[in-house]
Amino acid sequence: MNIDTAEILIVGAGPAGSVAAALLRQQGRQVLVIEREEFPRFSIGESLLPQSMEYLEKAGMLRAVVEAGFQFKNGAAFMHDGRYTDFDFRDKHSDGWGTTYQVQRATFDHILAKEAERFGAEVRYRHEVLNIELGQGANGGARVTVKDADGGQYQVDAGFILDASGFGRILPRLLKLETPSNFPVRGAIFTHIEDGIRGGFDRNKIRVTVHPKHCDVWFWTIPFAAGRCSLGVVAETSFLDRYQGSATERLQAIVAEEPSLQALLADAKWDTPARQIVGYSANVEKLWGEGYALLGNAGEFLDPVFSSGVTIAFKSASLATEALRRQFAGETVDWQADYGAPLRKGVDTFRAFVESWYAGGFQKIIFHENQQPEIKRMIAAILAGYAWDLSNPFVKETPRRLAALEALCTPA
């Protein structure tokens, strides 16, 4: 069996893998990316957060994304039973980008992968990692078995592995690192439509609409350029299972229960069959080990409600590649202190807000009639992705601050 070598092997050419590849190539490292799919390919998670722009800029990919013509985004809007509130991400506590884009992920991910190739990374599409044996490769690295596009197999001796395989979660499965999520099993039914919206809708913001009778059931409406949008509903699987028919018919039936959303999409053309995913929340025992690190969704995925997935993916790529830069420079790297702990800090901030959202507390906060401007700016910063900014009290002491604010916003 042929044996190739790679200084750094990245599993997956999605956002985390492509940004990591570009950052590593800027360091002069030899990078091989193994991607199971052919790009472009469909993926969900189209609403970026402004914090992501910093990492695109750092990776040298910003110009390509800006020139792609994606829908501009400057905030998030929320609807519940006739009540409306929004957050302008340009008016936030944290320094940094306040605007970003809402993207068709097939196009966006393909752009990032091509940019990684432009920087000199080798990307092998329709190649699938079958097995990883840590410590069994040349010079103590990993030996990776790969199946190519024609079904043949070869091996790669990799000095270090970054697992950016997303929901494929290659290393967590092979190394039995997965642990149960503390979230209930939820699912999402979603599609892309020609939305037909004529007015009364800010296309520069994602809209999150809460079901009128169930605060833990919500819809996303993510506008794209050229009059299309991504539409989906998220709920526990026991709720979704009440509805019969195709995925499209079930989604239409649930949308019909929310009057403002039904009216907004009255002229929509449902021209793309809906899809469903279930049980996407995941966790792992640790985010790194000897010779590897887990990036993005391969390590942990919380929930889509605050569109944090791509931002966490980029943050993990940035932290991991900086640790590798220092390691290759001969410095001693404490992967827990330099990668695992700081990454989890931001993830845990998002987690607290997600838990509060489904419990209903955060909804009381954002729909409260007397919102204090400075507190709103702090919350806007987290919703914009700045979940690692310790100058924000809601990042530094997330559970305590959030619980106190919930109590203040809860009627006696």
Q: What is the CATH number of the domain that holds 29?
A: 3.50.50.60
Listing DSSP states for 332-358 in one string gives: ---HIIIIIHHHHHHHHHHHHHHHHHH
Are residue 134 and residue 250 in the same domain, yes or no?
no
Of the pLDDT bands very low, low, confident and very high (cuts 50, 70, 90), residue 137 is confident
C-alpha–C-alpha distance, residues 281 and 233, integer Å: 15
Clarify whether residues 171 and 210 are in a common domain: no
Nearest to 127 by CA among 150, 144, 108: 150
Q: Give the bridge partners for 276, in sequence order.
A: 189
Question: For residue 120, is it within any domain?
Answer: yes
**Does residue 302 lie in a domain region?**
yes
The pLDDT value given to residue 179: 83
**Is residue 343's pLDDT more than 90?**
yes
Predicted TM-score (pTM) of this structure: 0.96
Closest to 41 measured CA to CA, from 207, 166, 172 = 166
Domain count, the chain: 2
Distance CA(296)–CA(346), nearest Å, equals 12
Mean pLDDT of 367-392: 96
Residue 371: inside a domain = no
Mean pLDDT computed over every residue of the chain: 95
| Residue 250, domain extent | 186-278
Tens of pLDDT, residue by residue over 181-232, are 778 889 999 999 999 998 889 999 999 999 999 999 999 999 999 999 999 9
Residue 412 predicted with pLDDT over 80: no
> Does residue 239 form part of some domain?
yes
* Residue 132 pLDDT grade (very low, low, confident, very high; cuts 50, 70, 90): very high
Based on the fold, state whether residues 128 and 173 are members of the same structural domain. Answer: yes
- 220 and 290: one domain? no
Q: Are residues 111 and 27 in the same domain?
A: yes
Among 326, 345, 364, the domain boundary falls at 345
> Are residues 289 and 256 part of one domain?
no
Q: Please check whether residue 23 lies inside any domain of the structure.
A: yes
Q: Which long-range contacts (CB under 8 A, 24 or more apart) does 144-149 make?
A: 144/9, 144/34, 146/34, 148/124, 149/125
Closest-CA residue to 44 (of 14, 11, 74, 89): 14
Given a cut of 90, is residue 285 above it in pLDDT?
no
State the DSSP H helix or E strand holding residue 365, giving kind and residue range, or none if neither: helix 361-366
Please identify, among 290, 318, 345, the residue that sits at the C-terminal boundary of a domain.
Answer: 345
109-119 mean pLDDT: 98
Sign of torsion over alpha carbons 102, 104, 110, 114:
negative
* 251 and 207, same domain (yes or no): yes
Domain edge (last residue) among 327, 345, 363 = 345
Whether 285 and 299 map to the same domain: the answer is: yes
What count of residues does the chain have?
Answer: 412
What average pLDDT does the segment 294-320 reach? 92
Using 50, 70 and 90 to split pLDDT, how confident is the model at 282? confident
Supply angle C-alpha 173, 179, 180, rounded to 5: 120
Residues 108 and 169 in one domain: yes
